Amino acid sequence: MRLLLELDKHRRDINKEAINSNVDDLNLDKLRPVVNMVANSRAAYIGALMKLSNSTSDSSPTIKEMNQLREKRTEFEELVAATNTLEVAIERGYVDIIGARLE
């Protein structure tokens, strides 16, 4: 059991050192562009779907149209995954937060 506790502390220390050195201290103002980017990507993906549905009527989408939609999905999913990873790093204390306050 002691070994696992030491391993957990070691993992936390290594992650904090590796991640925190690559990320400036965070605050809400620095996170806002991330949230905006994900929201804009989500909107573009949904917008592409709606545009596609309006243009195809009864026919199936073309391969080109499907590729364009796939590109929007890939972008959105990648941004969501990266944002979730950042959120976990914040939750685990791997990144320093400046001006943090509870509301």
Per-residue pLDDT of the chain (103 residues; tens, 9 = 90+): 899 999 999 999 999 999 999 998 899 999 999 999 999 999 999 999 999 998 867 788 999 999 999 999 999 999 999 999 999 999 999 999 987 554 4
7-39: burial string, b at 16+ Cβ within 10 Å, e else: eeeeeeeebbeebbeeeeebeeeeeeeeeeebe
Sequence-distant (≥ 6) Cβ neighbours of residue 95 within 8 angstroms: 16, 19, 20, 23, 25, 26, 86, 89
| Partners of 26 in the β-ladder | 97
Q: Provide the pLDDT for residue 8.
A: 93
Domain ranges of the chain: 2-91
Token pair belonging to 101: 């306050």
